[in-house]
Amino acid sequence: MIITTLILGFLFGAILQYAKLNKYNTISGMATLNNLAVAKAIAVAIGVGAILINVEIGLGLADYHTKPLILGGIAMGGIIFGVGMAILGYCPGTLAISLGQGSLDALFGIIGGLLGGLVYTLVLPSIQGILGPNLGVISLHTIAGGNPVLFYILLILLSAVFIGASFWVHKLDKPGKDMKWLAAGIGLAILNAIVFLSVVSNRQIGASTTFPFVADWLTGVTQNSYFEAIQKSGSWEVVFLAGATLSGLILSLLNREFKIQLIHENWKNFKNNSRSSRILWSLFGGFILIFGARMAGGCTSGHVISGGMQLATSSLVFAAFVFAGLLVTGRFFYGKENFNKKG
């Protein structure tokens, strides 16, 4: 199982690297609406993945792993996560890949994320009340009420909407000639469908649980209900992200793209060339990225993509709040003059 999970993580890293979806410049470009590759890939992944996953579930080859709609946590966590994503320029999963490629800001983001995961574990009992209400599991499957004809008609229609939206966004994208996002989105959908299979992992792809799991284990903060709840998924994600890190390292070396780098082009152009500035903002961005993810119960890979493929209301609501936080932060953190900049 460990070898299988490592391979799955390696493939995850390879897919994102192919379209450069793990790069700081790409994700910060999304925050300023100068590069929409991330949004396009996510939309097509949800559209294609929804069909793949629901068909294999219908055939009895997999199960649903839908997250409940815990409204306060998803709304507040989504906004906080989006802010962190914009400032840091990485998601929890892409941090591991970029670290393998030599990005030092990803390393500081991971350190900040570990601290954020630890703090979340410690403060969870005192903030539990603001995370609710828990509206339960709501998805297309539950809304259809067991009517297979209605379910599959709506499934096809919604999948077509997501795929169509990806091509509509592509027309708006400035570097719009590059179609690698399409292959990456389809690849993520297929990979998720494989992970969902009962004979493979019988779970969804995820990354953010790694951070509180590792931080709690390192500091000995394990005698609590939260650590017990995340122990199984956290241990799986550690191996998965190890595979993603190896993918970043090995493929960047093979492609002669490995580079020790702290300050990337967008940070230099939009912010400054100060090493201390980038380190401090990476630490802060990593902290709130993971804190927000834990409030919402997932991140880009585990909530937006994996949950989106299940057409779960919780994941689609989370995605809306994430992009709101991402875009508002991109506009003001990187400067209005750099937002949706032409050329």
pTM: 0.96
Q: What per-residue confidence (pLDDT) applies to 19?
A: 97
Structure tokens at 83: 């802010």
Q: Where are the beta strands (DSSP E) in 95-149?
A: none
Give the chain's mean pLDDT: 96
**Measured distance CA(188)–CA(312) in Å, rounded:** 17
Structure tokens at 205: 């792809």
Per-residue pLDDT of the chain (343 residues; tens, 9 = 90+): 899 999 999 999 999 999 999 999 999 999 999 999 999 999 999 999 999 999 999 999 999 999 999 999 999 999 999 999 999 999 999 999 999 999 999 999 999 999 999 999 999 999 999 999 999 999 999 999 889 999 999 999 999 999 999 999 999 887 667 899 999 999 999 999 999 999 999 999 999 999 999 999 999 999 999 999 999 999 999 999 999 999 999 999 999 999 999 999 999 999 999 999 999 999 999 999 999 999 999 999 999 999 999 999 999 999 999 999 999 999 999 998 888 875 5
Q: What per-residue confidence (pLDDT) applies to 176?
A: 64
Q: What per-residue confidence (pLDDT) applies to 177?
A: 76
